[in-house]
A and B are shown apart, each in its own frame.
Chain A
Amino acid sequence: MSEIPTIAEAAKLIAAKKLSPVELTKSRLARVKALDGQLNAFLLVTEERALADARAAEARMLAGTLKGPLDGIPIAHKDIYNTAGIRTTAHSRFLKDNVPAEDAHTVKRWADAGTVLLGKLATHEFAFGGPSFDLPWPPSRNPWNIEHFTAGSSSGTGAAVAAGLILGGTGSDTGGSIRGPAAFCGIAGIKPTYGLSSRAGILPLAFSLDTAGPMAWTAEDCALLLQAMAGHDARDPASARRPIPDFTGDLGKGAKGLRIGVVRHFFEQDHPVSAATLKGIDAALDFFRQEGATVRDIQLSPAADYHACGFLIMIGEAFALHLPWLQERFGDYAEMFRHRVAPAALMSGPDMSQAQRRRRVLAAEMRAAMAGLDIIVSASAPGEAPKIADLPKWTSMEKPSFTMPFNVTGFPAISVCTGFGASGLPVAIQLAALPFQEPTLFRAAHAYERATEWRARRPALAAA
């Protein structure tokens, strides 16, 4: 076994009784102890719970009653996912002593699948606005270089997966909070179709944009994790009632025959990306062509249109949600949260309605552009992770996001690593598909990952 197995590798070894879930868990806990002082990925380590979960999984392994590929797999949850009897803070002083009575629906689903819970992971406060240095816990650091940003808000999950502290974890994505950290930390992360996975028991940011999804080292691992998240839940009013496909079923089909559209103006004109990011995208497109996919450019509205629409809806919904606390305890929020949410006050009722009208127009535009296509390609992030100390306060608002368009439309999108820049920090590509076509995304991403060398390299810190 490699020092940091993927979930798929570990699952095969556990099924063959060649890997002990208890030993796997102990080795992850040892990594947490050795590395998390530098990474700040964990807000809480649940060692006793982890060992109990692992012993139960080991008993099932020995009895031949394993629940499936996630049985005995060490994971952790972003700290906006409610965990029964375990502190859930949203990385905020408002909830620093909050202990939920019930698990979030997705937390229970993963527990029922046999996962081993190692703890709760850092986020931006209420999944928005970081990095913040004025909260009770510090922001997470990028394992490829701890002077650099992880992106957010699923920052702890990105760092913990990349450094091998866990094999997979949960994220949430309202404007890019899974795909951004996946890109900066060099891992895979998927924002599922809006409505595919339940949000019940997850602290909200913006109800009509929030999605719950997995993050892991590979697309294949994300498929395994999403399998145990997806499905209808009556407690989530946006939950889709439809059959859940086998997310790993198409993984071996390769890229032949895929029809790919490239939103090149997003990353060449609207928000030009770094040289390494552009090189990675073009190399990935070359790979898909060589495998027998067809590739052509497509045109959408400017990325700024999608960004403005999504950002306004996001802060408008967040403002409404947080208004009582904003009025009473404004200064108790991190500066990055309160100063980004407060400008929602500028929006009138008609403005919010107009944003929702534009949202429908943009969703229809993207759907029409995908006629005859299986996948659309864009960047995940503008470039390599910047230094965490150098981040201008308003950067992520001034330039259009590459991830927000798919929150606006609800389409599923995955970020996968396409190599490394000159500084040794990862770069990434984003693949998106029509609603509920996650199997196609996993198929394409898996084919690409299997054909390239990027999954063989871990952060030096993690190898030490």
Chain B
Amino acid sequence: MSNPEIDATELARILKQAGLALAAEEVRAILPGAAIVAAMIERVRRPLPREAEPAVIFEAEPGR
């Protein structure tokens, strides 16, 4: 689970787990953006009705 309070060590670990082994300086430069994205993730995680299905195959028009 991500955390808006994420620090550089944790961010480096997550990036490495995703396949990006980056220099410490690069990780520090990404950190402010990572905090913004973490806040977005928290916003998206808010509960939805159980019947809300994902828009996996997005359709602009129902039934198309």
The residues of A with any CB-CB pair to B shorter than 8 Å are: 193-195, 208, 238, 240, 242, 304-305, 307-309, 311-312, 315, 319, 323, 326-327, 330-331, 335, 339-340, 342-348, 351, 353-361, 363, 393-394, 397-398, 409-411, 435-436
Contact = CB atoms under 8 A, between A and B. Distances in A.
Contacts of B20: 326-327, 330, 342, 345
A360 B59 CA distance: 9
A311 B52 contact: no
Given A340-B33, A356-B56, A393-B33, 6 more contacts: A326-B20, A330-B22, A343-B37, A346-B34, A348-B2, A351-B41
What 6 pairs across the A-B complex have the smallest Cβ distances?
A: A410-B60, A356-B54, A345-B18, A308-B40, A343-B37, A346-B2
Contact of A346 (B29, B41, B49): B41
Contact of A397 (B29, B36, B45, B49): B36
Contacts of B32: 393-394
B37 A315 contact: yes
Is the contact region of chain A dominated by helix, strand, or loop, or is it mixed? helix
A435 B1 contact: no
29 contacts: A194-B60, A195-B61, A208-B58, A240-B60, A240-B61, A308-B39, A308-B40, A308-B43, A309-B44, A323-B19, A327-B19, A330-B20, A330-B26, A340-B33, A342-B15, A342-B22, A343-B34, A343-B37, A344-B18, A346-B34, A347-B2, A351-B44, A356-B54, A356-B56, A357-B52, A359-B55, A361-B52, A410-B59, A436-B60
Contacts of A351: 2, 41, 44-45
Interface of B: 1-2, 6, 11, 14-15, 17-20, 22, 26, 29-30, 32-34, 36-41, 43-45, 48-49, 52-56, 58-61, 64
A356 B44 CA distance: 9
B53 to A, nearest CB: 6
Contacts, number: 129
A347 B41 contact: yes
A340 B15 CA distance: 13
A130 B37 CA distance: 18
Nearest to B53: A360
Given A208-B58, A351-B44, A397-B33, A346 B19 contact: no
B59 to A, nearest CB: 8
A311 B64 contact: no
Q: Of residues B22, B48, B55, which shows the largest number of chain A Cβ atoms within 10 Å of its Cβ?
A: B55
